[in-house]
Amino acid sequence: MNTLIDKKIKAKKLSFNDEYLIVELEDARILQIPLIWYPRLYNATKKQLKHYKWIGKGSGIEWPELDEHLSVHGFLQGYH
């Protein structure tokens, strides 16, 4: 995978279920990332999970209340 290309990929939609953070990318890929990989998110309430904002024009997601910052590039590289 070419990391230069991956860094340009942006997310456009975010949702959750009991086990996963679900990220839809602009190129139509859908990623399911286990919440357990991110203890702050895993232990958060549904209300807290919904209080996020996009950063870097969709290249990242921030939960200010939880002090959690994640990147699409990191998801694609399998970082957790």
Give the model's confidence band at 59: pLDDT under 50 very low, under 70 low, under 90 confident, else very high.
very high
pLDDT of residue 25: 95
Global confidence as pTM: 0.82
What digits encode the pLDDT tens for the residues 4-55?
Answer: 455 688 999 999 999 999 999 999 999 999 999 999 999 999 999 999 999 9
Higher pLDDT, 2 or 40: 40
d(CA 37, CA 71): 14
Number of domains in the chain: 1
d(CA 40, CA 31): 19
d(CA 26, CA 13): 9
CATH (domain of 7): 3.30.2020.40
Question: What domain range is 48 assigned to?
Answer: 3-77
Token reading at 21: 């953070």
For the chain, what's the residue count?
80
In terms of DSSP H, where are the helices of 11-80?
39-42, 46-50, 72-77
